[in-house]
């Protein structure tokens, strides 16, 4: 096995890593899928206004590279009511999107990811994270 491994590394010219696999998958996804996956980095804005913030899912580590996900707009025009506590409710309206992401792993390499929310100076927004359940 070690002889085959040395021959394979010599033929390729380097030892493959998870980053190499990710680069290969992104390249092929862009060529084969329509629409191609886009970086998960979304501007938070009110209609007809400048963005108040940014939400992204990034790889933890040196690069802080955004994941690439599929996105589709769903359920246009509906309003969702979320109870923050017994006295406060927030109505969420606007465009709603469904995102899908396939994480490819190579060998024992495991990368961690983090949800990053940034607000512009003198701006604020509410980020709601949780499981949505039917009210009935």
Residue range 61-79, pLDDT digits in tens: 767 688 889 888 887 677 8
Q: How many residues does the chain have?
A: 136
Q: What is the rounded average pLDDT of the residues 127-135? A: 76
Rounded to an integer, what distance in angstroms lies between the CA atom of residue 86 and that of residue 65? 39
Q: What is residue 111's predicted lDDT score, i.e. its pLDDT?
A: 78
57 within 8 A of 116, measured Cβ to Cβ: yes
> Is pLDDT at 110 greater than 70 in this prediction?
yes
Q: What is residue 75's predicted lDDT score, i.e. its pLDDT?
A: 72
101 within 8 A of 70, measured Cβ to Cβ: yes
Q: What is residue 64's predicted lDDT score, i.e. its pLDDT?
A: 67
**Strand boundaries in the chain, DSSP class E:** 38-39, 41-44, 53-59, 68-74, 80-83, 89-92, 96-100, 113-119
Rounded to an integer, what distance in angstroms lies between the CA atom of residue 103 and that of residue 109? 12
> Is pLDDT at 136 greater than 70 in this prediction?
no
> Computed over its alpha carbons, how large is the radius of gyration of the chain?
20
pTM for this predicted structure:
0.71
The string of pLDDT tens digits covering residues 9-60 is 899 888 888 778 888 888 888 888 888 888 898 888 888 888 899 999 988 8
């Amino acid at each position: 096995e070690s002889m085959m491994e040395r021959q394979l590394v010599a033929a390729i010219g380097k030892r493959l890593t998870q980053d190499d696999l990710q680069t290969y998958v992104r390249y092929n996804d862009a060529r084969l899928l329509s629409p191609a996956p886009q970086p998960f980095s979304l501007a938070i804005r009110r209609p007809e206004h400048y963005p108040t913030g940014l939400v992204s899912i990034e790889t933890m580590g040196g690069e802080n590279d955004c994941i690439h996900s599929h996105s589709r707009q769903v359920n246009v025009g509906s309003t969702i009511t979320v109870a923050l506590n017994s006295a406060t409710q927030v109505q969420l309206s606007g465009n709603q999107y469904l995102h899908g992401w396939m994480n490819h792993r190579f060998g024992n390499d495991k990368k961690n990811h983090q949800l990053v929310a940034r607000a512009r100076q003198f701006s604020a927004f509410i980020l709601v994270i949780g499981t949505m359940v039917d009210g009935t």
